[in-house]
Amino acid sequence: MKSTSKSSSKRRPGALSTLVIALLMASGSVLAAPAAVPQKPAQPLVMLAHQQLLEGNLAGAQSVLREAGAKGQGGTRALAEQAFLEDAYGRHMRARQFYDALKGSDQQAVIAVPSAVNLTALARFEQARIAFADIQKSSPSPQVQAYAGLWRLWLGARTASDAGLTPEAAKARVQKLARSIKPATAEQRALVALYQGKTDSSAVLAEIDALQVPEATKRDLRTEVGLFAGAYLDYVRQDHQGALRIYQLALEQSRPAAMERQLLIQTSRALQLSSR
């Protein structure tokens, strides 16, 4: 496992954290916009708001977006940023209104992953499953394809639990989904191996520790891994205390703009309430 991490880190200078995914989507270099609807360059203030969001300054991002609107630098890109901001605040229904308004716009590709995550946060699991399946099939980025596949694993584990499947049936469901994923990074490979029953959560976290990347990137990756590995323990293994420990560790290190943060909050609270 350790040699995999080293070779992966040599191949790429930094792991693709959720915050980086958001930044790449913003620049259009992860999910290419439909050819029939060319993207327009974002206005400077809107990009400043995006940077504020990535840095965790939600109030600052909101202030800059208001300024952008007042100065005529709004448009569809500003609406996309407002959707991201609403999700970061946990206002998922309001964010959904922005995502729905942007369907078919020049921001369709930019919002694809955050919109699918939003559907998950709203417990619209079937809609989310369809959205992630489409991203996994159509994204030009292998890393984003695998990331969407991990969300499908999360959904498969969660819905198996909701359906009252036995641990054996839940394992069979997620193992089938895991076979459709082509992981592109060391941590993705470790997560897929976890859902296939070939490793454990400590080995997944060890993969991140072994990466030769900045500590801030490791924090983002621990947030991502915390949700997916915790879900395996929670919904498949039914090790609720182990899942809660991973959720809480991930939450402690998560940034406000991390796409997994709101689901981490929801799932950890649900476990805490059920254990009382």
124 lies in a domain?
no
Please write the tens of the pLDDT for every residue from 46-67: 999 999 998 889 999 999 999 9
pLDDT at 245: 94
DSSP 3-state of 177: helix
11 occurs within a structural domain: yes
Residue 262 lies in a domain: yes
Residue range 119-130: mean pLDDT, rounded: 97
Q: Is residue 193 pLDDT above 90, yes or no?
A: yes
**152-192 pLDDT, tens per residue?**
999 999 999 888 888 899 999 999 999 999 999 999 999 99
User: Is 197 a member of any domain?
Assistant: yes
* 238: its two tokens: 């039914």
Give whole-number Cα distances, 169 to 105, 117, 173, in Å.
Answer: 41, 25, 6
Cα distances (Å, whole numbers) of residue 272 to 162, 233, 263, 265, 268: 17, 15, 14, 11, 6
Average pLDDT score over residue span 4-30: 38
Confidence of residue 42 (pLDDT cuts 50, 70, 90): low
User: What is the chain's alpha carbon radius of gyration, rounded to the nearest angstrom?
Assistant: 18
Question: Is residue 209 situated within a structural domain?
Answer: yes
271 vs 41, residue with greater confidence: 271
Could you tell me the pLDDT band of residue 25, with boundaries at 50, 70 and 90? very low
pLDDT of residue 216: 86
| Confidence bin at 40 (pLDDT 50/70/90) | low
Decide if pLDDT at 33 tops 50.
no
Residue 86 lies in a domain: no
Domain that holds residue 196: 2-16+141-274
Question: How many CB atoms lie under 10 A from the CB of residue 126?
Answer: 10
What is the mean predicted confidence (pLDDT) over 65-75? Answer: 89
Cα separation of 34 and 68, whole Å?
A: 26
> By C-alpha distance, which of 131, 117, 133 is closest to 264?
117
Name the pLDDT band for 265 (thresholds 50, 70, 90).
Answer: very high
- Read off the amino acid at residue 230: G
Residue 7 burial by CB count (10 A; 0-12/13-18/19+): exposed, middle or buried?
exposed
d(CA 14, CA 37): 31
State how many domains the chain has.
Answer: 1
Nearest-angstrom CA–CA distance, 158 and 173: 11
Residue 148 placed within a domain: yes
pTM of the model: 0.84
Residue 218 lies in a domain: yes
User: Which pLDDT tens digit goes with each residue over 208-241?
Assistant: 989 888 988 888 999 999 999 999 999 999 999 9
User: What's the chain's length in residues?
Assistant: 276
